[in-house]
A and B are shown apart, each in its own frame.
Chain A
Amino acid sequence: MVPLNWYIILSAIMFSIGVVGFLARRNLIIMFISIELMLNSVNISLVAYSHYLQSLRGQILVFFIITVAAAEAAIGLAIIIAFYKNNPTIKVDEINLLKG
Protein backbone atom coordinates (compact mmCIF):
# COMPACT_ATOMS: atom_id res chain seq x y z
CA MET A 1 0.00 0.00 0.00
CA VAL A 2 1.20 3.49 -0.82
CA PRO A 3 1.98 5.38 2.38
CA LEU A 4 0.25 8.66 3.20
CA ASN A 5 3.47 10.64 2.88
CA TRP A 6 3.76 9.95 -0.82
CA TYR A 7 0.35 11.40 -1.55
CA ILE A 8 1.09 14.46 0.53
CA ILE A 9 4.43 15.00 -1.21
CA LEU A 10 2.78 14.53 -4.61
CA SER A 11 0.13 17.04 -3.64
CA ALA A 12 2.72 19.54 -2.39
CA ILE A 13 4.71 19.19 -5.64
CA MET A 14 1.60 19.65 -7.77
CA PHE A 15 0.57 22.68 -5.73
CA SER A 16 4.02 24.22 -6.15
CA ILE A 17 3.96 23.59 -9.91
CA GLY A 18 0.59 25.34 -9.97
CA VAL A 19 1.87 28.34 -8.01
CA VAL A 20 4.99 28.67 -10.17
CA GLY A 21 2.91 28.26 -13.31
CA PHE A 22 0.52 30.96 -12.18
CA LEU A 23 3.30 33.37 -11.34
CA ALA A 24 5.69 32.64 -14.20
CA ARG A 25 3.49 32.03 -17.25
CA ARG A 26 2.07 35.02 -19.09
CA ASN A 27 -0.90 33.46 -20.85
CA LEU A 28 -4.31 33.77 -19.20
CA ILE A 29 -5.42 30.27 -20.20
CA ILE A 30 -2.23 28.66 -18.90
CA MET A 31 -2.61 30.62 -15.67
CA PHE A 32 -6.15 29.35 -15.37
CA ILE A 33 -4.98 25.78 -15.90
CA SER A 34 -2.38 26.36 -13.16
CA ILE A 35 -5.15 27.35 -10.74
CA GLU A 36 -7.03 24.15 -11.62
CA LEU A 37 -3.84 22.20 -10.95
CA MET A 38 -3.59 23.80 -7.51
CA LEU A 39 -7.20 22.90 -6.72
CA ASN A 40 -6.69 19.31 -7.82
CA SER A 41 -3.54 18.96 -5.77
CA VAL A 42 -5.66 19.91 -2.76
CA ASN A 43 -8.19 17.25 -3.79
CA ILE A 44 -5.47 14.59 -3.81
CA SER A 45 -4.30 15.48 -0.34
CA LEU A 46 -7.86 15.66 1.00
CA VAL A 47 -8.73 12.22 -0.34
CA ALA A 48 -5.48 10.79 1.02
CA TYR A 49 -6.11 12.27 4.46
CA SER A 50 -9.71 11.14 4.33
CA HIS A 51 -8.65 7.54 3.66
CA TYR A 52 -5.92 7.70 6.27
CA LEU A 53 -8.17 9.16 8.97
CA GLN A 54 -11.13 6.98 7.94
CA SER A 55 -13.33 10.05 7.96
CA LEU A 56 -15.64 11.16 5.17
CA ARG A 57 -15.31 14.90 5.65
CA GLY A 58 -12.36 15.20 3.30
CA GLN A 59 -14.15 13.45 0.47
CA ILE A 60 -17.26 15.57 0.95
CA LEU A 61 -15.10 18.66 0.67
CA VAL A 62 -13.58 17.24 -2.53
CA PHE A 63 -17.04 17.05 -4.08
CA PHE A 64 -17.67 20.64 -3.14
CA ILE A 65 -14.34 21.72 -4.58
CA ILE A 66 -14.99 19.97 -7.89
CA THR A 67 -18.42 21.59 -8.14
CA VAL A 68 -17.17 25.04 -7.28
CA ALA A 69 -14.23 24.64 -9.68
CA ALA A 70 -16.71 23.93 -12.48
CA ALA A 71 -18.67 27.08 -11.63
CA GLU A 72 -15.43 28.98 -11.43
CA ALA A 73 -14.34 27.72 -14.85
CA ALA A 74 -17.64 28.82 -16.37
CA ILE A 75 -17.37 32.31 -14.92
CA GLY A 76 -13.64 32.63 -15.53
CA LEU A 77 -13.83 31.67 -19.19
CA ALA A 78 -16.82 33.97 -19.68
CA ILE A 79 -14.82 36.83 -18.18
CA ILE A 80 -11.86 36.02 -20.42
CA ILE A 81 -14.08 36.00 -23.51
CA ALA A 82 -15.72 39.31 -22.54
CA PHE A 83 -12.24 40.71 -22.07
CA TYR A 84 -10.99 39.32 -25.37
CA LYS A 85 -13.80 41.01 -27.31
CA ASN A 86 -12.55 44.43 -26.27
CA ASN A 87 -8.82 43.81 -26.19
CA PRO A 88 -7.70 40.99 -28.44
CA THR A 89 -4.92 39.63 -26.27
CA ILE A 90 -4.56 37.01 -23.60
CA LYS A 91 -1.03 37.98 -22.66
CA VAL A 92 -0.93 39.27 -19.11
CA ASP A 93 1.80 41.80 -19.83
CA GLU A 94 -0.50 43.58 -22.24
CA ILE A 95 -3.30 43.91 -19.70
CA ASN A 96 -2.13 47.22 -18.36
CA LEU A 97 -4.90 49.72 -18.82
CA LEU A 98 -5.27 50.13 -15.06
CA LYS A 99 -2.10 50.97 -13.21
CA GLY A 100 -0.52 53.51 -10.91
Chain B
Amino acid sequence: MDVTFSLGLQDISAIMPELAMISVGLLLLMLDLVVKRKEIIAIIGVAGALVALYGTVSVYGMSESQTVFADMFLLDKYSCFFKIIFYLNVIFTICISFKYMAIEKAAFGEYYALLLFATAGMMIMASAADLMILYLGLELMALSTYILAGLLRKQARSNEAAVKYFFLGAFSSAFLLYGIALTYGMTGTTNITDIATSLFTLGIHDSPVMYLGVIFMIVAFGFKVALVPFHMWAPDVYEGAPTSITAFMSVGPKAAGFAVLGRVLFEAFGSMQPQWSAVLVPLAILTMVVGSVIALAQSNIKRMLAYSSIAHAGYMLLGIIAGTPEGLTSTINYLMIYTFMNIGAFTIVIMLRREGFQGENIEDYMGLAKSHPMASALMLIFMFSLTGIPPTAGFIGKFYVFMEAINAGYTYLAIIAALFSVVSAFFYLRIVVYMYMKEPQNEIVLTTSGPAGIVLAITCLAVLIIGIFPSILLSLANFSILG
Protein backbone atom coordinates (compact mmCIF):
# COMPACT_ATOMS: atom_id res chain seq x y z
CA MET B 1 0.00 0.00 0.00
CA ASP B 2 1.49 3.32 -0.79
CA VAL B 3 0.50 6.50 0.75
CA THR B 4 1.42 9.79 -0.77
CA PHE B 5 0.98 12.72 1.47
CA SER B 6 1.85 16.35 1.26
CA LEU B 7 1.08 18.94 3.84
CA GLY B 8 -1.14 21.63 2.41
CA LEU B 9 -2.66 24.83 3.60
CA GLN B 10 -6.01 23.07 3.81
CA ASP B 11 -4.62 20.62 6.39
CA ILE B 12 -3.31 23.39 8.58
CA SER B 13 -6.46 25.50 8.39
CA ALA B 14 -8.60 22.51 9.41
CA ILE B 15 -6.69 22.09 12.68
CA MET B 16 -6.51 25.79 13.54
CA PRO B 17 -8.56 25.45 16.75
CA GLU B 18 -6.35 22.58 18.00
CA LEU B 19 -3.22 24.51 17.06
CA ALA B 20 -4.53 27.58 18.89
CA MET B 21 -5.25 25.50 22.00
CA ILE B 22 -1.83 23.83 22.05
CA SER B 23 0.20 26.92 21.21
CA VAL B 24 -1.56 29.00 23.86
CA GLY B 25 -0.89 26.14 26.30
CA LEU B 26 2.82 26.20 25.44
CA LEU B 27 2.85 29.98 25.72
CA LEU B 28 1.34 29.73 29.19
CA LEU B 29 4.08 27.31 30.28
CA MET B 30 6.69 29.90 29.33
CA LEU B 31 4.80 32.89 30.72
CA ASP B 32 4.46 31.05 34.00
CA LEU B 33 8.20 31.59 34.58
CA VAL B 34 8.03 35.37 34.29
CA VAL B 35 4.48 36.35 35.22
CA LYS B 36 3.89 36.44 38.96
CA ARG B 37 0.16 37.11 38.88
CA LYS B 38 -1.48 33.84 37.88
CA GLU B 39 -4.74 35.63 36.99
CA ILE B 40 -3.03 36.99 33.88
CA ILE B 41 -2.13 33.46 32.82
CA ALA B 42 -5.71 32.36 33.37
CA ILE B 43 -7.05 35.25 31.28
CA ILE B 44 -4.69 34.38 28.42
CA GLY B 45 -5.91 30.79 28.69
CA VAL B 46 -9.53 31.92 28.37
CA ALA B 47 -8.55 34.10 25.43
CA GLY B 48 -6.94 31.09 23.73
CA ALA B 49 -10.08 29.05 24.22
CA LEU B 50 -12.19 31.91 22.83
CA VAL B 51 -9.97 32.12 19.71
CA ALA B 52 -10.42 28.38 19.20
CA LEU B 53 -14.17 28.78 19.78
CA TYR B 54 -14.27 31.44 17.08
CA GLY B 55 -12.35 29.14 14.74
CA THR B 56 -14.82 26.33 15.29
CA VAL B 57 -17.96 28.46 15.06
CA SER B 58 -16.77 30.01 11.79
CA VAL B 59 -16.55 26.59 10.09
CA TYR B 60 -19.65 25.17 11.79
CA GLY B 61 -22.05 26.10 9.05
CA MET B 62 -20.03 24.57 6.21
CA SER B 63 -21.95 22.09 4.13
CA GLU B 64 -19.22 19.51 3.44
CA SER B 65 -17.22 17.70 6.06
CA GLN B 66 -13.56 17.43 5.15
CA THR B 67 -10.88 14.90 6.00
CA VAL B 68 -7.32 16.14 6.12
CA PHE B 69 -3.85 14.75 6.93
CA ALA B 70 -4.31 11.72 4.67
CA ASP B 71 -7.72 10.76 6.09
CA MET B 72 -6.53 11.01 9.68
CA PHE B 73 -8.42 14.03 10.86
CA LEU B 74 -12.04 14.77 10.21
CA LEU B 75 -13.64 18.18 10.45
CA ASP B 76 -17.41 17.85 10.46
CA LYS B 77 -20.45 19.25 12.26
CA TYR B 78 -20.51 16.38 14.75
CA SER B 79 -17.00 17.16 15.95
CA CYS B 80 -17.74 20.90 15.97
CA PHE B 81 -20.70 20.36 18.29
CA PHE B 82 -18.51 18.44 20.73
CA LYS B 83 -15.74 21.02 20.47
CA ILE B 84 -18.18 23.69 21.59
CA ILE B 85 -18.94 21.58 24.67
CA PHE B 86 -15.19 21.31 25.35
CA TYR B 87 -14.63 25.07 24.99
CA LEU B 88 -17.51 25.85 27.33
CA ASN B 89 -16.12 23.29 29.76
CA VAL B 90 -12.59 24.70 29.77
CA ILE B 91 -13.69 28.35 29.89
CA PHE B 92 -16.07 27.71 32.80
CA THR B 93 -13.42 25.68 34.61
CA ILE B 94 -10.79 28.39 34.31
CA CYS B 95 -13.31 30.99 35.49
CA ILE B 96 -14.19 29.08 38.64
CA SER B 97 -10.55 28.21 39.38
CA PHE B 98 -9.18 31.72 40.01
CA LYS B 99 -9.96 32.00 43.69
CA TYR B 100 -10.25 28.30 44.42
CA MET B 101 -6.69 27.42 43.47
CA ALA B 102 -5.41 30.35 45.54
CA ILE B 103 -7.33 29.06 48.56
CA GLU B 104 -5.88 25.59 47.98
CA LYS B 105 -2.43 27.23 47.75
CA ALA B 106 -1.89 25.61 44.39
CA ALA B 107 -1.96 28.61 42.06
CA PHE B 108 0.41 27.11 39.51
CA GLY B 109 0.59 28.34 35.94
CA GLU B 110 0.89 24.77 34.65
CA TYR B 111 -2.64 24.20 35.83
CA TYR B 112 -4.05 26.36 33.03
CA ALA B 113 -1.67 24.95 30.43
CA LEU B 114 -2.70 21.40 31.34
CA LEU B 115 -6.38 22.33 31.10
CA LEU B 116 -5.77 23.55 27.56
CA PHE B 117 -3.75 20.44 26.64
CA ALA B 118 -6.49 18.17 27.99
CA THR B 119 -9.05 20.11 25.96
CA ALA B 120 -6.90 19.79 22.84
CA GLY B 121 -6.82 16.05 23.45
CA MET B 122 -10.61 15.93 23.65
CA MET B 123 -10.91 17.95 20.45
CA ILE B 124 -8.59 15.54 18.65
CA MET B 125 -10.69 12.63 19.92
CA ALA B 126 -13.88 14.20 18.60
CA SER B 127 -12.25 14.85 15.23
CA ALA B 128 -10.42 11.55 14.87
CA ALA B 129 -11.06 9.78 11.56
CA ASP B 130 -8.61 7.05 12.41
CA LEU B 131 -8.23 4.88 15.49
CA MET B 132 -4.57 5.90 15.83
CA ILE B 133 -5.46 9.57 16.13
CA LEU B 134 -8.29 8.64 18.46
CA TYR B 135 -5.78 6.87 20.73
CA LEU B 136 -3.36 9.79 20.68
CA GLY B 137 -6.11 12.28 21.50
CA LEU B 138 -7.38 10.07 24.28
CA GLU B 139 -3.91 9.79 25.83
CA LEU B 140 -3.27 13.53 25.55
CA MET B 141 -6.51 14.12 27.41
CA ALA B 142 -5.93 11.36 29.95
CA LEU B 143 -2.30 12.15 30.79
CA SER B 144 -3.15 15.81 31.36
CA THR B 145 -6.09 14.98 33.60
CA TYR B 146 -4.04 12.48 35.66
CA ILE B 147 -1.71 15.32 36.58
CA LEU B 148 -4.56 17.75 37.23
CA ALA B 149 -6.27 15.27 39.57
CA GLY B 150 -3.10 15.07 41.66
CA LEU B 151 -2.23 18.73 41.50
CA LEU B 152 -2.69 19.36 45.23
CA ARG B 153 0.39 17.33 45.92
CA LYS B 154 0.53 18.21 49.62
CA GLN B 155 -2.88 16.61 50.19
CA ALA B 156 -3.08 12.86 50.64
CA ARG B 157 -6.58 12.84 49.16
CA SER B 158 -5.46 14.40 45.90
CA ASN B 159 -2.46 12.03 45.64
CA GLU B 160 -4.72 9.07 46.12
CA ALA B 161 -7.16 10.34 43.49
CA ALA B 162 -4.32 10.68 40.99
CA VAL B 163 -2.97 7.20 41.72
CA LYS B 164 -6.38 5.60 41.28
CA TYR B 165 -7.21 7.57 38.17
CA PHE B 166 -3.84 6.87 36.61
CA PHE B 167 -3.86 3.13 37.21
CA LEU B 168 -7.40 2.49 36.04
CA GLY B 169 -7.01 4.90 33.12
CA ALA B 170 -3.82 3.23 31.91
CA PHE B 171 -5.42 -0.18 32.37
CA SER B 172 -8.39 0.87 30.24
CA SER B 173 -6.24 2.30 27.45
CA ALA B 174 -4.51 -1.08 27.16
CA PHE B 175 -7.97 -2.54 26.48
CA LEU B 176 -8.60 0.11 23.84
CA LEU B 177 -5.34 -0.83 22.13
CA TYR B 178 -6.11 -4.52 22.20
CA GLY B 179 -9.49 -3.75 20.65
CA ILE B 180 -7.80 -1.64 17.97
CA ALA B 181 -5.27 -4.43 17.29
CA LEU B 182 -8.03 -7.02 16.83
CA THR B 183 -9.99 -4.70 14.55
CA TYR B 184 -6.87 -3.93 12.55
CA GLY B 185 -6.04 -7.60 12.20
CA MET B 186 -9.50 -8.45 10.95
CA THR B 187 -10.17 -5.50 8.67
CA GLY B 188 -6.62 -4.54 7.68
CA THR B 189 -7.14 -0.88 8.43
CA THR B 190 -7.52 1.54 11.29
CA ASN B 191 -9.44 4.18 9.38
CA ILE B 192 -12.96 4.49 10.76
CA THR B 193 -14.80 4.67 7.45
CA ASP B 194 -12.60 1.99 5.87
CA ILE B 195 -13.38 -0.35 8.77
CA ALA B 196 -17.08 -0.05 7.93
CA THR B 197 -16.35 -0.81 4.25
CA SER B 198 -14.14 -3.79 5.11
CA LEU B 199 -16.73 -5.22 7.49
CA PHE B 200 -19.16 -5.12 4.60
CA THR B 201 -16.90 -6.41 1.81
CA LEU B 202 -15.24 -9.13 3.90
CA GLY B 203 -18.60 -10.05 5.47
CA ILE B 204 -17.06 -10.36 8.94
CA HIS B 205 -19.55 -8.32 10.93
CA ASP B 206 -20.69 -11.34 12.89
CA SER B 207 -17.28 -12.87 13.47
CA PRO B 208 -16.49 -13.51 17.15
CA VAL B 209 -13.12 -11.76 16.89
CA MET B 210 -14.76 -8.54 15.69
CA TYR B 211 -17.25 -8.92 18.49
CA LEU B 212 -14.38 -9.18 20.97
CA GLY B 213 -12.68 -6.13 19.47
CA VAL B 214 -15.84 -4.04 19.82
CA ILE B 215 -16.34 -5.22 23.40
CA PHE B 216 -12.77 -4.24 24.31
CA MET B 217 -13.30 -0.78 22.85
CA ILE B 218 -16.59 -0.40 24.71
CA VAL B 219 -14.77 -1.36 27.94
CA ALA B 220 -12.15 1.32 27.32
CA PHE B 221 -14.67 4.04 26.48
CA GLY B 222 -16.83 2.83 29.36
CA PHE B 223 -13.96 3.63 31.73
CA LYS B 224 -13.77 7.16 30.34
CA VAL B 225 -17.49 7.87 30.65
CA ALA B 226 -17.72 5.91 33.95
CA LEU B 227 -20.20 3.20 33.06
CA VAL B 228 -20.87 0.58 35.72
CA PRO B 229 -18.96 -1.81 36.22
CA PHE B 230 -16.06 0.37 35.04
CA HIS B 231 -16.95 3.25 37.35
CA MET B 232 -14.92 2.29 40.45
CA TRP B 233 -12.46 5.13 39.96
CA ALA B 234 -15.03 7.89 39.52
CA PRO B 235 -16.27 8.55 43.07
CA ASP B 236 -12.79 8.41 44.62
CA VAL B 237 -11.21 10.58 41.95
CA TYR B 238 -14.06 13.10 41.97
CA GLU B 239 -13.81 13.40 45.74
CA GLY B 240 -10.04 13.64 45.99
CA ALA B 241 -9.28 15.88 43.01
CA PRO B 242 -9.44 19.68 43.33
CA THR B 243 -13.12 20.67 42.97
CA SER B 244 -12.52 22.72 39.83
CA ILE B 245 -10.92 19.67 38.22
CA THR B 246 -13.82 17.53 39.35
CA ALA B 247 -16.12 19.88 37.45
CA PHE B 248 -13.80 19.69 34.45
CA MET B 249 -13.55 15.88 34.55
CA SER B 250 -17.22 15.28 35.07
CA VAL B 251 -18.00 16.98 31.75
CA GLY B 252 -15.00 16.97 29.42
CA PRO B 253 -13.71 13.39 29.38
CA LYS B 254 -17.28 12.13 29.59
CA ALA B 255 -18.34 14.16 26.55
CA ALA B 256 -15.19 13.08 24.71
CA GLY B 257 -15.91 9.47 25.62
CA PHE B 258 -19.42 9.78 24.18
CA ALA B 259 -18.04 11.52 21.09
CA VAL B 260 -15.79 8.56 20.26
CA LEU B 261 -18.40 6.04 21.35
CA GLY B 262 -20.83 7.61 18.89
CA ARG B 263 -18.23 7.93 16.16
CA VAL B 264 -16.76 4.44 16.43
CA LEU B 265 -19.97 2.52 17.05
CA PHE B 266 -22.11 4.37 14.49
CA GLU B 267 -19.56 4.86 11.72
CA ALA B 268 -17.09 2.00 12.01
CA PHE B 269 -19.33 -0.69 13.48
CA GLY B 270 -22.71 0.52 12.23
CA SER B 271 -23.36 -2.89 10.68
CA MET B 272 -22.83 -4.54 14.08
CA GLN B 273 -25.52 -2.45 15.78
CA PRO B 274 -27.54 -5.42 17.14
CA GLN B 275 -24.38 -6.86 18.71
CA TRP B 276 -23.13 -3.72 20.43
CA SER B 277 -26.61 -2.67 21.53
CA ALA B 278 -26.90 -6.04 23.27
CA VAL B 279 -23.66 -5.28 25.15
CA LEU B 280 -24.68 -1.75 26.04
CA VAL B 281 -28.18 -2.54 27.36
CA PRO B 282 -27.04 -4.32 30.56
CA LEU B 283 -24.34 -1.68 31.07
CA ALA B 284 -26.93 1.10 30.81
CA ILE B 285 -29.28 -0.60 33.27
CA LEU B 286 -26.48 -1.25 35.78
CA THR B 287 -25.18 2.30 35.37
CA MET B 288 -28.54 3.89 36.07
CA VAL B 289 -29.31 1.59 39.01
CA VAL B 290 -25.93 1.71 40.74
CA GLY B 291 -25.44 5.44 40.12
CA SER B 292 -28.81 6.44 41.54
CA VAL B 293 -28.94 3.99 44.43
CA ILE B 294 -25.43 4.49 45.82
CA ALA B 295 -25.78 8.27 45.55
CA LEU B 296 -28.51 8.03 48.18
CA ALA B 297 -25.99 6.97 50.82
CA GLN B 298 -23.43 9.73 50.25
CA SER B 299 -22.68 12.49 52.72
CA ASN B 300 -20.01 14.26 50.68
CA ILE B 301 -21.46 16.40 47.91
CA LYS B 302 -18.59 15.82 45.47
CA ARG B 303 -19.03 12.10 45.90
CA MET B 304 -22.77 12.41 45.49
CA LEU B 305 -22.32 14.37 42.27
CA ALA B 306 -19.88 11.68 41.12
CA TYR B 307 -22.55 9.01 41.46
CA SER B 308 -25.05 11.39 39.88
CA SER B 309 -22.73 11.80 36.90
CA ILE B 310 -22.51 8.01 36.63
CA ALA B 311 -26.30 7.82 36.54
CA HIS B 312 -26.41 10.54 33.88
CA ALA B 313 -23.98 8.54 31.74
CA GLY B 314 -26.52 5.73 31.91
CA TYR B 315 -29.31 7.98 30.62
CA MET B 316 -27.12 9.32 27.83
CA LEU B 317 -26.30 5.80 26.78
CA LEU B 318 -29.97 5.21 25.90
CA GLY B 319 -29.62 7.44 22.84
CA ILE B 320 -26.59 5.44 21.66
CA ILE B 321 -28.35 2.11 22.28
CA ALA B 322 -31.26 3.28 20.14
CA GLY B 323 -28.76 3.10 17.27
CA THR B 324 -30.50 5.70 15.13
CA PRO B 325 -29.20 9.13 14.10
CA GLU B 326 -32.08 10.62 16.08
CA GLY B 327 -30.92 8.68 19.13
CA LEU B 328 -27.41 10.08 18.77
CA THR B 329 -28.93 13.55 18.41
CA SER B 330 -30.75 13.14 21.72
CA THR B 331 -27.50 12.01 23.39
CA ILE B 332 -25.46 15.01 22.24
CA ASN B 333 -28.36 17.28 23.16
CA TYR B 334 -28.28 15.75 26.66
CA LEU B 335 -24.51 16.21 26.88
CA MET B 336 -24.74 19.93 26.13
CA ILE B 337 -27.47 20.39 28.75
CA TYR B 338 -25.51 18.30 31.26
CA THR B 339 -22.49 20.57 30.72
CA PHE B 340 -24.43 23.61 31.86
CA MET B 341 -26.24 22.09 34.82
CA ASN B 342 -23.32 20.11 36.19
CA ILE B 343 -20.79 22.93 36.00
CA GLY B 344 -23.38 25.25 37.55
CA ALA B 345 -23.81 22.89 40.50
CA PHE B 346 -20.05 22.53 40.94
CA THR B 347 -19.66 26.32 40.91
CA ILE B 348 -21.88 26.54 43.98
CA VAL B 349 -19.94 23.69 45.61
CA ILE B 350 -16.67 25.52 44.95
CA MET B 351 -18.03 28.76 46.43
CA LEU B 352 -18.55 27.07 49.80
CA ARG B 353 -14.84 26.31 50.06
CA ARG B 354 -12.91 28.93 51.96
CA GLU B 355 -9.75 29.15 54.02
CA GLY B 356 -10.00 26.51 56.74
CA PHE B 357 -13.41 25.19 55.68
CA GLN B 358 -13.97 22.36 53.21
CA GLY B 359 -17.70 22.87 52.64
CA GLU B 360 -18.09 19.48 51.04
CA ASN B 361 -20.51 17.88 53.47
CA ILE B 362 -24.16 17.88 52.63
CA GLU B 363 -24.83 19.17 56.17
CA ASP B 364 -22.95 22.34 55.26
CA TYR B 365 -25.91 23.31 53.07
CA MET B 366 -28.27 23.47 56.05
CA GLY B 367 -30.04 26.79 56.12
CA LEU B 368 -28.06 28.22 53.24
CA ALA B 369 -31.22 29.91 51.96
CA LYS B 370 -31.39 32.11 55.06
CA SER B 371 -27.92 33.55 54.68
CA HIS B 372 -27.48 33.31 50.90
CA PRO B 373 -30.87 33.29 49.13
CA MET B 374 -29.37 33.95 45.70
CA ALA B 375 -26.87 31.07 45.77
CA SER B 376 -29.55 28.74 47.16
CA ALA B 377 -31.99 29.69 44.41
CA LEU B 378 -29.34 28.90 41.79
CA MET B 379 -28.49 25.60 43.45
CA LEU B 380 -32.22 24.83 43.50
CA ILE B 381 -32.43 25.38 39.74
CA PHE B 382 -29.41 23.15 39.09
CA MET B 383 -30.71 20.41 41.37
CA PHE B 384 -34.15 20.54 39.68
CA SER B 385 -32.44 20.36 36.33
CA LEU B 386 -30.26 17.40 37.32
CA THR B 387 -33.41 15.64 38.56
CA GLY B 388 -35.20 16.47 35.33
CA ILE B 389 -38.07 18.63 36.54
CA PRO B 390 -39.65 20.97 33.97
CA PRO B 391 -39.24 23.81 33.02
CA THR B 392 -35.50 23.23 33.39
CA ALA B 393 -33.22 21.92 30.65
CA GLY B 394 -32.62 18.62 32.43
CA PHE B 395 -36.19 17.64 31.67
CA ILE B 396 -35.74 18.30 27.95
CA GLY B 397 -32.56 16.25 27.87
CA LYS B 398 -34.15 13.25 29.57
CA PHE B 399 -37.39 13.58 27.62
CA TYR B 400 -35.72 13.27 24.22
CA VAL B 401 -33.39 10.47 25.25
CA PHE B 402 -36.28 8.45 26.67
CA MET B 403 -38.41 9.19 23.62
CA GLU B 404 -35.72 7.95 21.22
CA ALA B 405 -35.26 4.80 23.31
CA ILE B 406 -39.01 4.12 23.05
CA ASN B 407 -39.02 4.86 19.30
CA ALA B 408 -36.25 2.31 18.83
CA GLY B 409 -38.25 -0.31 20.74
CA TYR B 410 -36.44 -0.17 24.08
CA THR B 411 -39.53 0.75 26.10
CA TYR B 412 -38.38 -1.24 29.14
CA LEU B 413 -35.13 0.74 29.24
CA ALA B 414 -37.05 4.00 29.21
CA ILE B 415 -39.24 2.73 32.05
CA ILE B 416 -36.20 1.74 34.14
CA ALA B 417 -34.61 5.10 33.41
CA ALA B 418 -37.75 6.99 34.45
CA LEU B 419 -38.00 4.94 37.67
CA PHE B 420 -34.43 5.68 38.63
CA SER B 421 -34.87 9.37 37.81
CA VAL B 422 -37.46 9.30 40.57
CA VAL B 423 -34.95 7.65 42.90
CA SER B 424 -32.41 10.31 41.99
CA ALA B 425 -34.92 13.02 42.94
CA PHE B 426 -34.43 11.92 46.55
CA PHE B 427 -30.76 12.84 46.79
CA TYR B 428 -30.94 15.96 44.63
CA LEU B 429 -33.93 17.35 46.46
CA ARG B 430 -32.37 16.48 49.81
CA ILE B 431 -29.91 19.31 49.15
CA VAL B 432 -32.86 21.62 48.45
CA VAL B 433 -34.58 20.49 51.66
CA TYR B 434 -31.40 21.12 53.63
CA MET B 435 -31.03 24.58 52.15
CA TYR B 436 -34.60 25.72 52.64
CA MET B 437 -36.10 23.74 55.49
CA LYS B 438 -33.30 23.29 58.03
CA GLU B 439 -31.79 25.65 60.51
CA PRO B 440 -28.24 26.77 59.79
CA GLN B 441 -25.60 24.92 61.84
CA ASN B 442 -22.49 26.93 61.22
CA GLU B 443 -22.02 30.23 59.53
CA ILE B 444 -21.36 29.94 55.82
CA VAL B 445 -19.34 32.59 54.05
CA LEU B 446 -19.34 32.21 50.30
CA THR B 447 -16.15 32.85 48.37
CA THR B 448 -17.51 34.89 45.54
CA SER B 449 -15.61 36.19 42.55
CA GLY B 450 -16.57 37.98 39.35
CA PRO B 451 -15.71 35.16 36.93
CA ALA B 452 -17.57 32.59 39.04
CA GLY B 453 -20.59 34.92 39.04
CA ILE B 454 -20.45 35.09 35.25
CA VAL B 455 -20.32 31.29 35.05
CA LEU B 456 -23.35 31.03 37.33
CA ALA B 457 -25.26 33.57 35.29
CA ILE B 458 -24.50 31.83 31.98
CA THR B 459 -25.19 28.30 33.20
CA CYS B 460 -28.39 29.29 34.98
CA LEU B 461 -29.71 31.24 31.99
CA ALA B 462 -28.79 28.38 29.66
CA VAL B 463 -30.57 25.84 31.87
CA LEU B 464 -33.74 27.97 31.96
CA ILE B 465 -33.71 29.10 28.32
CA ILE B 466 -33.10 25.60 26.96
CA GLY B 467 -35.78 24.35 29.34
CA ILE B 468 -38.36 26.79 28.00
CA PHE B 469 -37.25 26.97 24.34
CA PRO B 470 -35.71 23.54 23.69
CA SER B 471 -35.85 23.98 19.92
CA ILE B 472 -32.77 26.25 19.96
CA LEU B 473 -30.44 23.48 21.11
CA LEU B 474 -32.36 20.65 19.45
CA SER B 475 -32.11 22.21 16.02
CA LEU B 476 -28.38 22.69 16.55
CA ALA B 477 -27.99 19.05 17.58
CA ASN B 478 -30.11 17.92 14.65
CA PHE B 479 -28.07 20.04 12.28
CA SER B 480 -24.86 18.50 13.66
CA ILE B 481 -25.95 14.93 13.08
CA LEU B 482 -28.39 14.98 10.20
CA GLY B 483 -27.08 18.06 8.38
Cβ-defined contact, B181 with A45, below 8 A: yes
Q: Do most interface residues of chain A lie in helix, strand or loop, or is the interface mixed? A: helix
Whether, in the assembled complex, B163 has its beta carbon less than 8 Å from a beta carbon of chain A, the answer is: yes
Contacts of B180 in A (CB 8 A): 42, 61
Whether, in the assembled complex, B1 has its beta carbon less than 8 Å from a beta carbon of chain A, the answer is: yes
Contacts of B235 in A (CB 8 A): 98, 100
Whether, in the assembled complex, B298 has its beta carbon less than 8 Å from a beta carbon of chain A, the answer is: yes
Cβ-defined contact, B150 with A99, below 8 A: no
Chain B contact residues (Cβ within 8 angstroms of A): what range?
35 or more
Within the complex, what minimum Cβ distance (angstroms) separates A76 from chain B? 5
Q: Which of A57, A71, A82, A98 has most chain B Cβ within 10 Å?
A: A98
Chain A residue nearest to B131 in the complex (CB): A61
Q: How far is the CA of A49 from the CA of B156 in the complex (A)?
A: 44
Chain A contact residues (Cβ within 8 angstroms of B): what range?
35 or more
0/1 interface trace, chain B 296-322, chain A, CB 8 Å (1 if under): 011110010000000000000000000
Cβ-defined contact, B135 with A61, below 8 A: yes
Selected from A49, A72, A79, A95, the residue in CB contact (under 8 A) with B184 is A49
Selected from B174, B177, B185, B298, the residue in CB contact (under 8 A) with A49 is B185
| A residues 64-96 in Cβ contact with B at 8 Å | 64-65, 68, 71-72, 75-76, 79-80, 82-83, 85-87, 95
Contacts of B190 in A (CB 8 A): 57, 61
Chain B residue nearest to A68 in the complex (CB): B139
- Known contacts A79-B159, A98-B239, A100-B298, A35 near B174 by CB under 8 Å: yes
Contacts of A31 in B (CB 8 A): 167
Selected from B3, B135, B171, B240, the residue in CB contact (under 8 A) with A35 is B171
Cβ-defined contact, A28 with B163, below 8 A: yes
Q: Which residues of A contact B (CB under 8 A)?
A: 8, 11, 15, 18, 22, 28, 31-32, 35, 38-39, 41-42, 45-46, 49, 52-58, 60-61, 64-65, 68, 71-72, 75-76, 79-80, 82-83, 85-87, 95, 97-100
